[in-house]
């Protein structure tokens, strides 16, 4: 896929709405630590800070593994490739569950088949900030005595039933990576309702080493993120590498799915935690503004013929880092990406493939027929909900999508 011409203006819209960093976030200051502030905002007694969302999942799976001889983890067939890598890292086996047709929830029949006496945990995913059907995962898991770990990596701030997502299952985790609503450059949060589970997670987290080299690297990367996360500079830091990957026809590199098996595991330093603690005060207002912006824009996108904007299906109030559009067919999706991916307007893909179709996951992910997951991968694109996507840019997206929908 070749990259289209970028916008005439010297600016770049990121593919997701991240909370812009401020200089005062970087300065040392007193106040409650990040774990306490995050716990208070999420409405839990305690929250654990991890060095990534993936690391948070590893901590959760290691803690669960200590309680059981079971060794299989059920994951959606369309999710971040880091999820099966984390499962394998823990010495566990991946079992795929296909999605419900035309959506991101786990298919009930496939879920019932996947949950067996060897199942340690099920990992439902709040994809793209949308609220997943955790109740179905809980019912299937409980029938066989398995745990539920909610993947809320992209959904920090989403709520269901009056509470934060991540709390209906046995544990839940969030990502604080680049471009997320709140970021430490790389980081994560891990929560649980039950006090005994929180103690088990904390005990597992305490076993992680302090690695000065990794923390120094992440601190420098966070400083670089502060310097570069602005529309004009992103054109060089993000836009140019993206368009080079598209010119090579390397969609996996363009979207950032080219991930290796190594998962850094270490404790997060005090300075980066302080950056997050100071920034989190601005996060609720940022998420509210994003939801208001998304409400207007998703209505306009849903009015396009044959286009569906994935929503929360009445299960709660998700966050809106981007809007996930399900195009009527793969041809229309690919035509839209040919016009818009790389144009600097924040249109992208979420994950390139269903999990069985990543060559690097061979041997970790079983070869399996997952038609609904493959259909979602073939028909979905994302539209950024960044505040930097202005009205002329959004109007151009709508016009290009309309053109791509024509036969």
Residue-wise pLDDT for 243-265, tens only, equals 999 999 999 999 988 787 889 99
Which SS3 state, helix, strand or coil, does residue 191 take? strand
Q: How far is CA 345 from the centre of its chain?
A: 20
> What pLDDT does residue 191 have?
98
Q: Please state, rounded to an integer, the average pLDDT across all residues of the chain.
A: 94
**Paired strand residues for 73:** 94, 121
Task: Give the strand pairing for 48-50 and 188-191.
Answer: antiparallel
Q: What is the Cα–Cα distance from 369 to 360, expressed in whole angstroms?
A: 18
> What pLDDT does residue 240 have?
94
> What pLDDT does residue 157 have?
96
> What pLDDT does residue 4 have?
58
**Paired strand residues for 190:** 48, 173
Whole-number Cα distances in Å, 382 to 9, 130, 332, 333: 22, 13, 14, 10
- The pLDDT tens digits for 164-214 are 999 999 999 999 999 888 999 999 999 999 999 999 999 999 999 999 999
Regions of the chain where pLDDT drops below 50 = 7-8
Q: Is 381 exposed, middle or buried (0-12, 13-18, 19+ CB in 10 A)?
A: buried
Q: How far is CA 86 from the centre of its chain?
A: 14
Helices (H), 327-390: 330-340, 371-379
Q: What is the Cα–Cα distance from 86 to 82, expressed in whole angstroms?
A: 6
> What pLDDT does residue 1 have?
55
User: 177 with 186: CB under 8 angstroms?
Assistant: yes
Nearest to 94 by CA among 113, 68, 69, 121: 121
> What pLDDT does residue 111 have?
97
> What pLDDT does residue 10 have?
66
Helices (H), 156-255: 195-206, 212-228, 231-234, 240-247, 251-255
């Amino acid at each position: 896929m070749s990259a289209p011409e970028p916008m005439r203006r010297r600016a770049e819209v990121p593919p997701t709405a991240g909370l812009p960093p401020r200089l005062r976030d970087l300065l040392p200051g007193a106040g409650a630590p990040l774990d306490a502030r995050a716990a208070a905002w999420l409405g839990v007694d305690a929250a654990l800070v991890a060095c990534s969302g993936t690391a948070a999942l590893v901590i959760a799976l290691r803690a669960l593994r200590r309680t059981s001889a079971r060794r299989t983890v059920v994951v959606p067939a369309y999710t971040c490739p880091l999820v099966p890598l984390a499962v394998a890292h823990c010495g566990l086996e991946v079992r795929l569950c296909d999605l419900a047709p035309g959506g991101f929830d786990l298919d009930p029949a496939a879920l019932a088949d996947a949950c067996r006496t060897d199942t340690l945990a099920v990992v439902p995913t709040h994809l793209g900030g949308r609220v997943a059907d955790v109740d179905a995962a809980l019912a299937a898991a409980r029938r066989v005595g398995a745990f539920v770990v909610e993947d809320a990596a992209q959904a920090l701030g989403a709520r269901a039933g009056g509470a934060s997502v991540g709390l209906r299952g046995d544990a839940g985790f969030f990502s604080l990576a680049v471009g997320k609503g709140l970021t430490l450059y790389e980081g994560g949060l891990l929560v649980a309702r039950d006090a005994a589970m929180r103690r088990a997670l904390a005990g597992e987290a305490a076993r992680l080493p302090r690695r000065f080299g990794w923390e120094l690297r992440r601190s420098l990367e966070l400083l670089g993120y502060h310097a570069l996360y602005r529309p004009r500079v992103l054109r060089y830091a993000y836009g140019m590498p993206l368009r080079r990957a598209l010119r090579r026809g390397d969609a996996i590199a363009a979207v950032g799915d080219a991930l290796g098996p190594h998962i850094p595991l270490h404790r997060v330093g005090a300075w980066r935690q302080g950056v997050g603690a100071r920034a989190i005060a601005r996060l609720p207002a940022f998420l509210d503004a994003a939801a208001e912006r998304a409400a207007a824009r998703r209505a306009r996108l849903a009015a396009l013929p044959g286009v569906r904007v994935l929503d929360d299906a009445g299960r709660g109030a998700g966050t809106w880092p981007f809007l996930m559009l399900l195009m009527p067919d793969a041809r229309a999706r690919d035509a839209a990406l040919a016009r818009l991916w790389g144009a600097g307007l924040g249109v992208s893909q979420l994950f390139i493939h269903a999990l069985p179709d990543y060559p690097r996951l061979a041997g970790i992910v079983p070869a399996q027929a997952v038609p609904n997951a493959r259909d979602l991968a073939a028909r979905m694109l994302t539209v950024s909900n960044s505040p930097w996507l202005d009205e002329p840019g959004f109007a151009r997206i709508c016009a290009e999508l309309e053109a791509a929908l024509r036969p």
